[in-house]
Amino acid sequence: MKNSLLYKRLLSVAFLLLVLAACADASSSEGDEGSSDEDGGELQESKLITNWFAQPEHGGNYAALEQGMYEDEGLDMEIEPGGPQVSTTQMVAAGEADFGYTQGEDILNARNKGIPLVAIGAIFQESPYVFISHADAGVEDFEDLSGKTVITAPGVGYWEYIKEDYDLEGVKEISYTGELSKFIDNPDAVTQGYVTSEPHVLEKEGVETNALPIHDSGFQPYSNVIFTTEKMIEENPEKVQAFMDATHSGWEYYRENSEDVQSFLQEYNPDLTEELMTYGAEAQEELIFGGEAEEHGFGYMSEERWSTLQEQMLELEIITNEEDPSNYYTTEFLSLEE
């Protein structure tokens, strides 16, 4: 009797061990599947901070986020919209975001202050910035800005360049805040703006305008430059590559399917209208995918353009330090055509 009881207990223990082993194997298998990406690794947290509230100018990044392209590249991506009081260069430099959007000249301004930022791609081959005047104000070229009230960001590189290169006189300067009433109420005023936005907004207000592309002035920095830090490139180049690959895919998707991304953009910026988003997507097409990007590929940047910008900023005494362009820009993370 005792031997029979012992035998039954041993069978029970053996069965319990088999069950526990099976559960452990299943748990391990499920854990591996649920916590890994397609390459078998954990998703890396990452953040992009843009240079303004969500707009069509950032459409490709939001498309990549909505379509899961960042996740496909192993990134748990967050996009944080910028704004008038947000310095993307400072936030990325401080490690509060991995990547940011800014203007080309801001990269050189940061480098001049000892902040080791590096441009890794340019969304806009030509700047979307324009000077907007009333249609009957007689502003056909930059020389015509003399004697006008110009609403623009103080100290911005293109304005300093235009004032000097075109010998402007008698200009009354007003700081740009993004609000258009001062321009609308003054027929002699000229305001900075984005060709993808303000002309459409003003037309809806019944204001007829002309627009001078800043790029045509001769001051030609890349715009909506994607940047990160030297440290990020040195310590985690795989993350930079993953971000740029997904960003490229997102912009190609947005190029063909911008209307599909509109509702997602509105989640980040409810003030956007479908009409404005459609207008912006169409207006920026050539600025992003035309020019040298048409020949070389999305995001292209050249040493010649960066060197010229540095020379202009040195001549204007906006910066004082001269560097090898390879220190502050790289195309190694772009998929370029030879």
Please, where are the H alpha helices in 113-205?
157-165, 181-185, 198-204
What percent of the chain has a predicted confidence (pLDDT) above 70? 88
Give me the residues paired with residue 117 across strands.
Answer: 229
Domain boundary among 217, 238, 262: 217
CA distances from 167 to 27, 145, 147 (A): 74, 10, 11
**Hey, what are 205's tokens?**
């207000």
Tell whether 36 is covered by a domain: no
How many structural domains are present in the chain?
A: 2
Q: Which of 227, 226, 224, 232 is nearest to 95 (CA)?
A: 232
Examine the domain organization and report whether 121 and 159 are in the same domain. no
Which tens digit of pLDDT belongs to each residue from 294-324? 999 999 999 999 999 999 999 999 999 999 9
Which tens digit of pLDDT belongs to each residue from 226-268? 999 999 999 999 999 999 999 999 999 999 999 999 999 999 9
Tell whether 4 is covered by a domain: no
Give me the residues paired with residue 102 across strands.
Answer: 225
Examine the domain organization and report whether 209 and 240 are in the same domain. no
Q: Summarize the chain as % helix, strand, coil (round to 5).
A: 50, 15, 35
Domain boundary among 193, 217, 241: 217
Examine the domain organization and report whether 236 and 322 are in the same domain. yes
CA distances from 133 to 24, 136, 141, 162, 322 (A): 72, 8, 11, 16, 36
CB 89 within 8 A of CB 112: no
- Global pTM reads 0.86
Q: Is the pLDDT of residue 12 over 50?
A: no
**CATH for 168:** 3.40.190.10
Examine the domain organization and report whether 272 and 142 are in the same domain. no
Q: What angle do CA 236, 237, 243 make, to 5 degrees?
A: 100
Examine the domain organization and report whether 98 and 133 are in the same domain. no
Q: Which of 269, 278, 145 is nearest to 210 (CA)?
A: 145
The predicted pLDDT at position 177 comes to 87
Examine the domain organization and report whether 202 and 241 are in the same domain. no
Examine the domain organization and report whether 258 and 180 are in the same domain. no
Residue range of the domain that includes 177: 129-217
